[in-house]
Amino acid sequence: MRKIYVYQNLDGYNFTGAELVGANFSHASLRETVFTHAQLDYADFRYADMTDVKLLARPYFSHAALSPDGTWLASGTYFENHNILLWNLQDEGRIRTLPGHFNNLTSLAFHPHKPYLVSGGSDYTIHFWNLNNGRREYTLPIKGMAEHLSFSPDGYLLAEYDSEGKIFLIDIVNKKQIQELPGMTSAFAFSNDSHFFAVASKRGEIILWDVVKQQKIGVFRIPGKAHALSFYPFSNHKIFVLMEGKSRGRDVWLIDLATGIVQSRLRDSQEEQVPYLDNLSTMTVLPWNAQIVVSDKNNHAIELWDMITHKKITAFHLKGHYIENIYVNAHTQSLIVPLQKECAFIDLNTQQQRIIHPKPACKGANIFGVKGLTSQQRELLLEGGAVEIEKRLPRNSSSARHVHPLEDQSMAKCMLLDKYRKNAGDIYTFTVSVERDGSILFAEEYFYAPQKNEPARKYIYSLSIFGYQARRFLIELAHASKIEPAKIAHIQKNPFMLYLLEKLIQKGIFTAEEDQKFTANLQAIRILLEHKDIPYELSLWRWADID
């Protein structure tokens, strides 16, 4: 599908997250137009006015998740926190977007084995997204607002913590809740074999559940509040706990759940080695060696510790950045650290750091002759793969195919109303289409054959009638043409309009005479619309040259 907006005035239009691959915006006015995270691959912006356009939104990393293979980092956005951003970390920060929720996004989680992403929102729903096609597979209504989501390692269960302090275990296969645990906190974890589920209660307890038998099998008291839980990678009976004690501040404990014995404490290390212990904000476990990664968000420090030997392995400092979450990529043995506007990538083998900046999805987009872009915006587009070529760039090595603007897969039906040749080589067509949303689009296209000193030219006029007014328009037109639509009024919306259109075509209402002026058909429709006070939109699309 190719969208054509040549020479149109689209000032202030919002294309947030839109699929605009191959769209033609050449010579258009795009002042203050919003292209935030839109798909702009191979779009044509030649000679467009892009003054004050918006290309990217600031990510909101309080709700984020890393895919198991480390390819995608999902997050929300500031100010538009109902949408979901997907950072392609293998493509150096290229962004795509999912439409998200009706209200604010509150939580995200990737399936451990399948290309699925789940998102929770303040609209009391959980959405299941297919990352292969970017579509929402289904929506699961819930009782509260999902503030935290996590899959079991086998992918059959989803744990959801809601705003009322309840945890629900959801059977993904049957799409139903199988367990409700009230009075809990957002600190919970599945065991490595998915057989056990550990959760911290508000009373300072760690409760262990047998997921298969759906029963409580153990309760362990801790002297404080648990902020995070994570099972030991090589045992289903040991668990790391990031906790905040009443007297000694924050600490990390390794507890043997089979015996209830605390096997190790981070505070058992030399105090000078743990200068920021009271400010610990996150804890992550490396699955290949059971070392822990802790961070201090105030002092911008990330440290790796061996809890068995009580030794600090290494430390990283991200000066000037607020550290809220740390994600582990087991495939590359690296850390992904979301920052305010970008991500830090830390290779644990080489201990090298690099920053990944978000980039717009604009591979092959042509920005030749564009005016109004700042130097920073132009550089950002070029980093995302845009080009500056005077001739339009084809989408592949073969010659670009001219796609008629009415070739849109979303349309329910498109009909040719009239076609004739006025001069040798000139072609006029008049078409109408009914889209799935019930709107009607009339289009007149006139192709001028090349002359001695002039190239081929094409003009396209279009008139669109909104879906909520289209039925009324056709009934008014049918009455004016002495066609009685009452007998078929019970038919569903689009078939009803298609039936009326076919009757009107048979009646010859839209037939153009060769001696009529170019816009005679649309002009007649406009007179009827204005007489009946029916709103519509009229656009002129013009191709100055046909290559």
Asked if residue 416 and residue 533 are part of one domain, the reply reads: yes
Residue with the bigger pLDDT between 331 and 509: it is 331
Asked if residue 455 and residue 372 are part of one domain, the reply reads: no
Mean pLDDT of 83-95: 75
Asked if residue 75 and residue 172 are part of one domain, the reply reads: yes
pLDDT-derived band at 251, boundaries 50, 70, 90: confident
Decide if 319 is inside a domain.
no
Question: Residue 392's pLDDT is what?
Answer: 45
23-32: Cβ within 8 A, 24+ apart: 26/392, 27/542, 27/544, 31/372
Structural domain boundaries, residue 468: 411-543
Question: Residue 139's pLDDT is what?
Answer: 86
Asked if residue 417 and residue 524 are part of one domain, the reply reads: yes
Decide if 12 is inside a domain.
yes
Asked if residue 157 and residue 38 are part of one domain, the reply reads: no
pLDDT-derived band at 117, boundaries 50, 70, 90: very high
Decide if 101 is inside a domain.
yes
Decide if 251 is inside a domain.
no
Asked if residue 64 and residue 40 are part of one domain, the reply reads: no
Give the pLDDT confidence of 146-199 residue by residue, as tens digits: 888 999 999 999 999 888 888 889 998 888 888 888 778 778 999 999 999 999
Of 157, 182, 207, the position where a domain reaches its end is: 182
Decide if 207 is inside a domain.
no
Of 182, 200, 215, the position where a domain reaches its end is: 182
Asked if residue 75 and residue 31 are part of one domain, the reply reads: no
Of 134, 164, 182, the position where a domain reaches its end is: 182
Give the pLDDT confidence of 411-457 residue by residue, as tens digits: 345 555 555 555 666 777 777 777 666 677 777 777 777 776 677 77
Q: How many angstroms separate the CA atoms of 326 and 338, rounded? A: 7
Q: How many angstroms separate the CA atoms of 290 and 233, rounded? A: 6
pLDDT above 90: residue 468: no
Q: Which of 108-117, 279-288, 420-429 has the highest mean pLDDT?
A: 108-117
Report the 3 state secondary structure along 79-91: CCCCCEEEEEHHH
Question: Residue 495's pLDDT is what?
Answer: 60
pLDDT above 70: residue 402: no
Asked if residue 170 and residue 90 are part of one domain, the reply reads: yes
Question: Residue 274's pLDDT is what?
Answer: 55
Asked if residue 40 and residue 85 are part of one domain, the reply reads: no
pTM: 0.64
Mean pLDDT of 220-227: 86
CATH code, 146: 2.130.10.10
Asked if residue 78 and residue 146 are part of one domain, the reply reads: yes
Closest CA to 351 of 316, 321, 327: 316
Q: Which of 77-81, 334-338, 444-448 has the highest mean pLDDT?
A: 334-338
Decide if 14 is inside a domain.
yes
Q: How many angstroms separate the CA atoms of 163 and 290, rounded? A: 32
Domain count, the chain: 3
CATH code, 5: 2.160.20.80
Mean pLDDT of 109-137: 88
Decide if 161 is inside a domain.
yes
pLDDT above 50: residue 401: no
Decide if 114 is inside a domain.
yes
Positive or negative: CA dihedral 306, 310, 312, 318: positive
Asked if residue 533 and residue 484 are part of one domain, the reply reads: yes
Give the pLDDT confidence of 362-387 residue by residue, as tens digits: 888 999 889 999 988 998 898 888 98
pLDDT above 50: residue 59: yes
Question: Residue 365's pLDDT is what?
Answer: 92
Asked if residue 459 and residue 418 are part of one domain, the reply reads: yes
